[in-house]
Structure 1
Amino acid sequence: MKIISFNPFRTIGMKDITYIKPENMFREIDKIKDADYILFPEYWQVNSLVYGLNKKIFPNISTFHLGHNKVEMTRALMATYPKNVPYTRIMGKNSSTVDIIEEEFGYPVVAKEIKNSMGQGVYLIKDKYELNKYLENNDTLYIQEYLPIDRDLRVVYVGNKVISAYWRIAEKGNFHNNIAQGGSYSFDNIPLPAVDLVDRVAKTLGINHAGFDVIEVEGEYYILEFNVLFGNEGLKHLGIRPEEYIYNYIKEDTDPNKPTYPGVGRKVIA
């Protein structure tokens, strides 16, 4: 099997890999045409690889397109699992925007930038002044109800199954649960209904590589978002190597005698 990776850090230790820098794509186009699988292209490469060269890519096209920003993923989730999405409005700006947000949400309310990660670009808005400041810096508005939580569950889905789940707990007094924002890990008491929810959502949407952020409020589970290029620190604590799951998945996907069916996979939960 001939495999090309555009991201060596996410494919360390995998066999039969040729590394190409994304900026050298067109210089190395013959190698790309001859490859069986392309791993971790950058978003600008995806359409050319899939629609132009008819190549298999990982993550797949659904994962890239839906995971491109919070608007795309949220609308897909609202269409398929509306009960598992916090109340959210995606809108442009006009003279009545502030009135609409105050009437529908009140304060505090959560406002997000549509393209960001690691907790950056997520704001707890407490008053009109902070809301206007957010409006000044964002053309597409992403407004979400505030739910009182001190942790979220990161559920990691690779290939066709959940491979791990762990809690990210906010530092005391901090709004963000992300490890990059001072949060901590917990690997205990993982709720299986949340894991099953992610498994169903990923299969419904055709996602094959994502870290889902799930919260629990009064026994109900809500998906906040998913990240295509999620951090691996939590997996390292559990001794899980996602590249092994990726390699096995693409090996099966290119084996005509072992087709990959969208069945429920074995879950590896600590």
Structure 2
Amino acid sequence: MKIVTFNPFRTIGIPNINYVKPEHMYKEREKIASADICLFPEYWQINPLVYGMKKEIFPNIQSFHLGHNKIEVTRALWSVCPENVPRTEILGRNQENINYVLNTFAFPFVAKEIKNSMGKGVFLIKNEAQFMEYTKNNPYFYIQEYLPIDRDLRVCFVGDDILTAYWRINEGDGFQNNVAQGGQISFENIPPEAIELVKKTAKQLGINHAGFDLVFAHGHMYFLEFNILFGNQGLQQRGISVEKTIYDYITLNHS
């Protein structure tokens, strides 16, 4: 199998692989044309690769499209498991929607930038002044109820199964649990119902590479989001080779 990668750092050790810089995609059309599959393109490359060059990609196009930003993620989750999504409003910026949020969400609530990761662009809104500051910088509002938690669960789904799952525990005085924000990893007491929910949801949506983030609050399980380019810290601690899993999957499933 001939493979092109656009991201060498996520594909180290995969055999028969050629690296093409994303910005050189059109200059190296022959190398791409001869490949059986292209790995980890940037988002802007997906449509020309799939629809123009007729290339198979990994992660698949469903993963890219549905995981493109928090709005797309939430709409996808609403379509298959709305009962597992916290109360969320996605609104355009105007005075009517500003009033709506202030009149319907009790403080504190969470406001997020629609394209960010590693815990960046997530704000705990404690008063009207903080919300107005958020509205100045965001043409689209992503507003979510605040859930009282001290940890969240990252479940790594690659290919057609789960590789690992781990808690990210907040041991400080902030409200974010991301490892990039100082969250600590724990592999203990992973609830099996969370594993089953992620398997079911990933397969319903046709996703083949994503890190799903879940929380437990008020006796219920909720998705926060999923990220197709998720961190590998938990996998590395487990000694799991995600590259080998990817290679085995694309070899078995190459059309």
Query: Match for residue 190 of structure 1?
Result: 190
Query: Match for residue 164 of structure 2?
Result: 164
The one-letter amino acid paired with 2:97 is T
Query: Match for residue 247 of structure 2?
Result: 247
What's the CA shift for 1:219?
Answer: 3.0
What's the CA shift for 1:172?
Answer: 2.1
Name the SS of the counterpart of 1:223 in structure 2. Answer: strand
Query: Match for residue 264 of structure 1?
Result: none
What's the CA shift for 1:5?
Answer: 0.5
The one-letter amino acid paired with 1:76 is A
What's the CA shift for 1:71?
Answer: 0.4
Give CA-to-partner distance per residue, 1:196-241, whole Å, 9 cap, x none: 1111110011110000100011331111001111010111111111
Task: Report how many aligned residue pairs link the two structures.
Answer: 255
Q: Which runs of 4+ in 1 moved over 4 A?
A: none
Give CA-to-partner distance per residue, 1:55-75, whole Å, 9 cap, x none: 110000000001110001101
Counterpart CA distance in 1 for 2:52 and 2:221 is 39
Give the superposed CA RMSD.
0.9
TM-score by length of 2: 0.98
Counterpart CA distance in 2 for 1:154 and 1:213 is 5
What's the CA shift for 1:254?
Answer: 1.9
The one-letter amino acid paired with 2:79 is A
Aligned pairs for 1:1-270 (under 5 A) are: 1-254=1-254
The unaligned stretches of length 5 or more in structure 1 are: 256-270
Counterpart CA distance in 2 for 1:3 and 1:204 is 27
Counterpart CA distance in 2 for 1:11 and 1:76 is 27
What's the CA shift for 1:106?
Answer: 1.2
What's the CA shift for 1:144?
Answer: 0.3
Same amino acid, percent of matched pairs:
58
The one-letter amino acid paired with 1:231 is G
Counterpart CA distance in 2 for 1:113 and 1:171 is 24
Name the SS of the counterpart of 2:95 in structure 1. Answer: coil
Counterpart CA distance in 1 for 2:3 and 2:66 is 24
Name the SS of the counterpart of 1:189 in structure 2. Answer: coil
The one-letter amino acid paired with 2:174 is N
Counterpart CA distance in 1 for 2:201 and 2:254 is 24
Name the SS of the counterpart of 1:96 in structure 2. Answer: helix
The one-letter amino acid paired with 2:62 is S
Name the SS of the counterpart of 1:119 in structure 2. Answer: coil
What's the CA shift for 1:100?
Answer: 1.0
Counterpart CA distance in 2 for 1:232 and 1:62 is 21
The unaligned stretches of length 5 or more in structure 2 are: none
Counterpart CA distance in 2 for 1:203 and 1:104 is 34
What's the CA shift for 1:53?
Answer: 1.2
Counterpart CA distance in 2 for 1:25 and 1:96 is 44
Counterpart CA distance in 1 for 2:124 and 2:95 is 22
The one-letter amino acid paired with 1:71 is I
Counterpart CA distance in 1 for 2:28 and 2:152 is 42
TM-score by length of 1: 0.93
